[in-house]
Structure formats: C-alpha cells, structure tokens
Chain A
Amino acid sequence: MAKWGMVIDLDKCTACQACVIACQAENNIPNSDPEAARTGRNIHWMEMLPMVEEEYPHLRMRLMPRPCMHCEKPPCIKVCPVNATQISSEGIVGQINARCIGCRYCTTACPYTVKYFNWFKPKWPEVMEHQLNPDVQVRYIGVVEKCTFCHHRLQKGRDLARYEGRELGPDDYMPACVQTCPADAMYFGDLDNPKSSVAILSKSKRAFHLLEDLGTHPKVTYLSEGV
C-alpha cells in the first residue's frame, strides 16, 4: 500500500505562488477578495507561510508553501464527533463534506491551522462558474474543507492504470501544486517505496518538518540548507 507524501525544496522555491493559484483552480476554491482577507475568511488549501528569521539588520524572510501536512497521527481526526474527517489507508487525510456538521473542532485542534470553514455559500464571478473542475465537489455552506493531496487525481490515475492494464506509475498521480511548480521545487510520491524521489529526499540532511515536536508525523517534508 502506498503512503503518499510531499517534499518541498525551499532552496529551490522562488515563492512565485503558482502552487497557490493552481490549487485554487484545481479544487474549486472561491477567489479571495480584500474583504474576506480582512475578516480572515479566505480559503487557501495551499498558502504561503511567511517565516521571519532574526531581526533587522540581519533580517531573513522566506515564504514557505504550506499545504495540509497529512499527518500520520492527525490531531484533527481524533476530535471529530461524526467521523467526517478520516485518514485513508494510503495516508491521505480527507474531509467528508456531506457529513460534516460544522462544529469546527477539527479546525481548532489542528496545530497547523490548515482546515478551512465555509462561512458563506461559496460563489464565483459568473463567467468562472463554467470553469469549475467537474472532478471536485463544490463545498456547501457551513462545512469544513481541506487539502486532499488532489485525491481525485489519484482516483483518475488509478482508473487509467487499470484501464491500460498496468500498475499505478509515479507519473499517474501528482497534485496540482506539484505539477505546476515552475522551479521544480516540489516532489510527490510514495514514501513507502524506497526508490521514490520523496522517500530519498525526505531522508536528506536538509530535511525538516513543521512542528515536528508535536508528534503528529507530518508527511510533508521541507528541505533547506542550514537547518
């Protein structure tokens, strides 16, 4: 069984935010607007996290792309009262929108704050309604949503592989953010396969995880020189 994971090489990342946009488009996430940003209602499954290190004049600022960490031990699924957020056998933490009661316990329990709530009914400018991704469900009002590692692409890739009578290959499944990264800074694959690029890179000396000490075992690994 595969264990899907992601590696983000911060030494290569140019913080161009193409991954953020690719994610918004792929996953039918409503456009941000200034009002929503001001009131903290924007939804970004993939977001740029500003890491400020040291102080002026030695200030170092860098932006880290931050998807859901898809923890091996996710604090969010522990607290859900209705089983609406679960971890699949392949390690993807998903959200069942049709069952979620919107109590927002998972959003408060997540130490990475990567779960988002639909404060209003999601809406798009009329012209954009026609370019919604048919593979991804448009969320309801009042439910929680989150990064799924573009799980629908896994289903599609698996279907294709089955149709062609072969095993699922490394190129059959890749989230939109990884696919779009112009700097080639993001890797995706099976952590259980020792030959996969993510398995090799996540053992690199440059590797670290966000909030590692909380014991959540994130499956998103960052690479950076000098950590």
Chain B
Amino acid sequence: MDLKKTFEHDEEVLLRPIREVNRNYYITVAVLSLIVAWAFFAYFYQFKWGLGVTGLNRPVYWGFYITNFVFFIGISHAGTLISAILRIAQAEWRRAITRSAEVITVMVIFFGVASILMDLGRPDRIFNIIESGRFQSPLLWDVTSITCYLTASTVYLYLPLIPDIAIMRDKVNKRKWLYNVLSLGWTGTPKQFKRLELVISVMAILVIPVAVSVHTVVSFVFAMTVQPMWHSAIFGPYFVVGAIYSGIAALIIAMALIRWVYKLDNYLKDIHFQNLGLLLFVMTLLWTYFTFSEYLTTFYGAEPTHMAVFWSKFSGEYMVEFWGMIVCCFVIPVIFLSNRKLRTMTGMMISSIAITIGMWLERFIIVVPTLANPRLPYERGAYHPSWVELSLLAGCFAFFILLYVLFTKFFPIVSIWEIQEGRQHAVSEVSERVRTYLPDDHTDGGETQPFPTEQMESARS
C-alpha cells in the first residue's frame, strides 16, 4: 500500500500546475500575448504593403524568415527524435523528460511552417503547392516531410498522454468534458496498456527516419542549388546534427524553467540534466567536427566564388555573426560541459542559451553570405533586417513560449503514468535485464551468484 501513497503523491505534485493558477501565470500570458499581437500587426503590415517592408533585396532574397524556418525546424528535433531514441534504447532516465521534449517538437514546428508563410510573396496562393505542386522541387520535399513529421509528432505526443488524461478526467475538477473526450475511454486495464505500449514503440521507430528526413530535406533546399558554399554534400548530416544540437539545448532551457516555476526538483532531477549535459557535449563536438570539415574543404579547395563567401564570413561583413557562432557553439559549451566542476545547472543553462543563439547565427551565416556574394560582378548585396522581421522573430518566440505555457496548464508536463510505471516495474525489469547481460553461472543450480570478491582477494594473497 506504500506504492499507492507514492502514486497519489506523484499525481498531487504533477497535477498541481493544472489545478492551481496564480498571478504570475496571468502576467506571463499577458506579456507574451502582447508581443504576439504586435507580431500579428507587423505581419498584416507586410501583407498589405508587400515584402518591400523587410530588409530583403536582390541578391539577398532570403534572410530572417528562412533563417527562422531552418532554426525552428531544427529546434523541433529536440523532442520527438530524442524521446524516440531514448525510448527505443530503454534509457530509464527518459521517463521524466519525454513529455516536455515532445511538446517542444509539436509546438515549434508551427513556427517553422509560419516562417515559410511569412516569407512568401503571395501567401494567398499557398494552395498552388497542392494544385500544381512539383515533386522535383526540394521545397515540395519539405512540405511533405514536415507535414508528415508534424502529424507523427502530434500522434506521438498524444498517445502517451492518454493515460494521463484519464487520470485528470478522474481527479481534476476542471474541463471534465475535454478530458473525457480526449481520454478515449481509457480505464487502465492491462490489455489497454499492452496495446498502448505497442503503438508507442511502433511510433517511436517510425518517427526516427521521418525526423532525420526533415532536416535533411531542409538542408537540401540549399544543397541542391549550385550556389557557392550551399552546394555541399555534407549539408544533410550537418543540418541534422545541428538540429539535434540546438534541440537538446532548447530542451534543457525548457526543463530548467519548468523545474524552477513548478518546483519539480524531485522529478526533473540533477541527474537528468547531467545526462542531457553529456549528450549536449557530444553534440558540441560532433557539430564542431562538421563545421570544421565544411569550412576547411572550402578553404583548401580555394575556388574564387567559394572564397568570396568564405572571406565574407571569416573576416568580412559577416565576421561578427561567424565568430559569434564559433564562441556560442564551440568555446562556451566546451568550457562548461567538458568539465564536471563547471557542468552545474548554471553552467548548463549558460551553454544552452549560448548554443540556442549560436545555432540561430549558424543558420543565418549559412543563408545570407552566399546570397550576398553572387557569382557575377554585381554590386555586393547587404542585408539589414527591418523592424518587421525583428518583430516577427520576437513574435514567433513569444507565441511558442505562450503555447508551451498553456500546454503545461492543460496537461501534465511530466508523464505521470510513466513515472508510476517506472516505480512499479522498471526497477525490477532493469535488474533482470542487467542479469541477462552477464554470463550465466551454473555452479549453483543456475542461479547467478554475486561476484566472489572476497574469495578472489584471499586467493591472490
């Protein structure tokens, strides 16, 4: 009966953000809504007067919006992909973090898609993509892949939510009708659990290739052209690595804020952050490796058109952004994450924020300098974003945070049933699993014996 009490405590703590609504919440929502409203105004301004109100020009036809598109789609790799990998790898520490990760994915994809809509000269003709779509165009690959990813991620977020919605239906006195509908008549029978686990694991496997394809085809938008420093074979994996990298950083920031605001120190523990921090460090090194390969091959090949772009990044007009990226994505994370003493919560927060900024800069530094240095000797382009583009960037961030905050007020941000399942089954399952890794011991009726340390010691002496 002890377990039952613990379960009730879990539900009590994890449902508290839904039951209680305080002033800070309203203030947060109000501030975020204001920024979003401003962004809507900026968008309608652009819609009315045309893309001329941005800083875009010829030859820099793409700027902030495409940067945001790549960035947000990159962040979306935080959730579903990481969660799916951890589930398949049976990493037990995943239980507390999968939900918050999956929500990032679903919410942030909308802003990736929105960024493309903002970038269109004729958003009113968007359905031409269906009416006269051409599958030879990498943009259509994007549309297909991202739609697929959004659908799969939403399903993958929803499935593990069902048992939690059922808990809320039974125990929360709010929005009964909503939880009633969404719980799909879940009663928690073993048969239901068995089916649920089956679909979740099928989805986890399905969603990985989709996630990888998403950022690969995003990179293909650039890599399929012949433009200098875009036409690169490593862009696919480079973008996927960058996406996971920025995704984990965003996840750490989100989790730290959740833990701080809702006081979930006992659920989102230091060990979770430590594990994610190590993962982040691995991604830092991988990203650096890719960046190094990409720039060194360009430099060594030294084709003049490529070098024009290279120097504009390295020591020219985009120097600040380029070196800012190196500092944010390499120097700061390596300092804070490689060292156990510095890999504290503060250290990880500093690195994660730096990486988020740095990865945005990376996207910018890929999109703009290539366009600003066309092959033919035109006047070199310059790009300075206007207030519209800055407002829409702020608006996207604010809207994303707003949706995330609202989610935490409607659904538990830490999966209750998975924690409970962990308490009930995982400990014994894991020790059973570890036992299967070890060589069988037949000396004592097939029972595995503890390692005879003392006998070894005495034998040695």
Interface residues of A (CB under 8 A from B): 39-42, 49-52, 66, 75, 78-84, 99-105, 107-109, 111-113, 116-121, 140-144, 210-211, 214
- Do B58 and A109 have beta carbons less than 8 Å apart? no
Which residues of B lie under 8 Å from residue A108 when comparing CB positions? Answer: 61-62, 225, 227, 371
Given contacts A41-B52, A51-B377, contact A83 B61 (CB under 8 A): no
Asked if B60 is at the interface of the complex by the 8 Å CB criterion, the answer is yes
Given contacts A79-B137, A120-B52, contact A99 B132 (CB under 8 A): yes
Which residues of B lie under 8 Å from residue A211 when comparing CB positions? Answer: 375-376
Closest B residue to A114 by beta carbon equals B376
- Do A40 and B59 have beta carbons less than 8 Å apart? yes
- Complex partner residue of A119 from B52, B139, B382, CB under 8 angstroms: B52
- Do B62 and A214 have beta carbons less than 8 Å apart? no
- Do A142 and B50 have beta carbons less than 8 Å apart? yes
Which residues of B lie under 8 Å from residue A112 when comparing CB positions? Answer: 375-376
Given contacts A79-B225, A82-B133, A99-B132, contact A117 B376 (CB under 8 A): no
Instruction: Give the CA-CA distance A143 to B61 in the complex, in Å.
Output: 12
Closest A residue to B370 by beta carbon equals A108
- Do B376 and A81 have beta carbons less than 8 Å apart? no
Which residues of B lie under 8 Å from residue A40 when comparing CB positions? Answer: 57-60, 379, 381-382
Instruction: Give the CA-CA distance A55 to B122 in the complex, in Å.
Output: 45
- Do B52 and A102 have beta carbons less than 8 Å apart? no
- Do B51 and A142 have beta carbons less than 8 Å apart? yes
- Do B132 and A107 have beta carbons less than 8 Å apart? no
- Do A119 and B125 have beta carbons less than 8 Å apart? no
- Do B129 and A41 have beta carbons less than 8 Å apart? no
Give me the 7 closest cross-chain CB pairs, A-B, nearest first.
Answer: A102-B121, A142-B121, A40-B57, A119-B52, A81-B139, A81-B137, A120-B52
Closest B residue to A215 by beta carbon equals B226
Instruction: Give the CA-CA distance A50 to B128 in the complex, in Å.
Output: 38
Which residues of B lie under 8 Å from residue A51 when comparing CB positions? Answer: 377
Query: Which residues of B351-388 have CB atoms within 8 Å of chain A's CB atoms?
Result: 371, 374-379, 381-382
Which of A42, A52, A111, A118 is packed against the most chain B CB atoms within 10 Å?
A111
Closest B residue to A105 by beta carbon equals B139
Given contacts A50-B377, A111-B375, contact A81 B122 (CB under 8 A): no
- Do B225 and A109 have beta carbons less than 8 Å apart? yes
Instruction: Give the CA-CA distance A160 to B41 in the complex, in Å.
Output: 52
Which residues of B lie under 8 Å from residue A79 when comparing CB positions? Answer: 137-139, 224-225
Asked if B221 is at the interface of the complex by the 8 Å CB criterion, the answer is yes
State how many angstroms separate the Cβ of B49 from the closest Cβ of chain A.
7
Given contacts A52-B377, A108-B225, contact A102 B122 (CB under 8 A): yes
- Complex partner residue of B227 from A41, A52, A111, A119, CB under 8 angstroms: A111
Instruction: Give the CA-CA distance A51 to B376 in the complex, in Å.
Output: 9
B41-60 Cβ-contact flags toward A at 8 Å (1 or 0): 00000000111100011111
- Complex partner residue of A81 from B60, B140, B381, CB under 8 angstroms: B140
- Do A103 and B120 have beta carbons less than 8 Å apart? yes
Instruction: Give the CA-CA distance A42 to B110 in the complex, in Å.
Output: 34
State how many angstroms separate the Cβ of A224 from the closest Cβ of chain B.
16
How many residues on B have C-beta within 8 angstroms of the other chain's C-beta atoms? 45
Query: Which residues of B77-135 have CB atoms within 8 Å of chain A's CB atoms?
Result: 116, 119-123, 125-126, 128-129, 131-134
Given contacts A79-B137, A117-B121, contact A105 B221 (CB under 8 A): yes
- Do A101 and B375 have beta carbons less than 8 Å apart? no
Which of B122, B129, B140, B226 is packed against the most chain A CB atoms within 10 Å?
B122
- Do B62 and A102 have beta carbons less than 8 Å apart? no
Given contacts A79-B137, A103-B139, contact A119 B50 (CB under 8 A): yes
Cβ contacts A to B, 26 pairs, < 8 Å = A40-B381, A41-B57, A49-B378, A51-B377, A78-B137, A79-B225, A81-B129, A81-B137, A81-B140, A84-B128, A100-B121, A100-B125, A101-B120, A101-B128, A104-B61, A109-B226, A111-B375, A111-B376, A113-B374, A117-B58, A120-B49, A121-B50, A142-B122, A143-B121, A144-B121, A211-B375
Instruction: Give the CA-CA distance A103 to B57 in the complex, in Å.
Output: 13
Instruction: Give the CA-CA distance A68 to B382 in the complex, in Å.
Output: 23
Closest B residue to A43 by beta carbon equals B58
- Complex partner residue of A101 from B58, B126, B377, B379, CB under 8 angstroms: B126
State how many angstroms separate the Cβ of B52 from the closest Cβ of chain A.
3
Instruction: Give the CA-CA distance A39 to B50 in the complex, in Å.
Output: 15
- Do A104 and B139 have beta carbons less than 8 Å apart? no
- Do A81 and B133 have beta carbons less than 8 Å apart? yes
Asked if B254 is at the interface of the complex by the 8 Å CB criterion, the answer is no
Which residues of A lie under 8 Å from residue B132 when comparing CB positions? Answer: 82-84, 99
Asked if B136 is at the interface of the complex by the 8 Å CB criterion, the answer is yes
Which residues of A lie under 8 Å from residue B122 when comparing CB positions? Answer: 100-102, 140, 142-143
- Complex partner residue of B62 from A41, A99, A104, CB under 8 angstroms: A104
Instruction: Give the CA-CA distance A111 to B376 in the complex, in Å.
Output: 8
State how many angstroms separate the Cβ of B154 from the closest Cβ of chain A.
24
Instruction: Give the CA-CA distance A108 to B143 in the complex, in Å.
Output: 19
Instruction: Give the CA-CA distance A104 to B62 in the complex, in Å.
Output: 8
Which of B119, B132, B137, B138 is packed against the most chain A CB atoms within 10 Å?
B137
- Do A111 and B57 have beta carbons less than 8 Å apart? no
Which residues of A lie under 8 Å from residue B49 when comparing CB positions? Answer: 120
- Do A104 and B121 have beta carbons less than 8 Å apart? yes
State how many angstroms separate the Cβ of A155 from the closest Cβ of chain B.
23
Which of A103, A105, A121, A142 is packed against the most chain B CB atoms within 10 Å?
A103
- Complex partner residue of B376 from A49, A109, A119, A140, CB under 8 angstroms: A49
Instruction: Give the CA-CA distance A142 to B123 in the complex, in Å.
Output: 9
Which residues of B lie under 8 Å from residue A107 when comparing CB positions? Answer: 58-59, 61
State how many angstroms separate the Cβ of A96 from the closest Cβ of chain B.
9
Instruction: Give the CA-CA distance A105 to B136 in the complex, in Å.
Output: 13
- Do A82 and B134 have beta carbons less than 8 Å apart? yes
State how many angstroms separate the Cβ of B126 from the closest Cβ of chain A.
7
- Do B121 and A81 have beta carbons less than 8 Å apart? no
State how many angstroms separate the Cβ of B371 from the closest Cβ of chain A.
6
Which residues of A lie under 8 Å from residue B52 when comparing CB positions? Answer: 41, 119-120
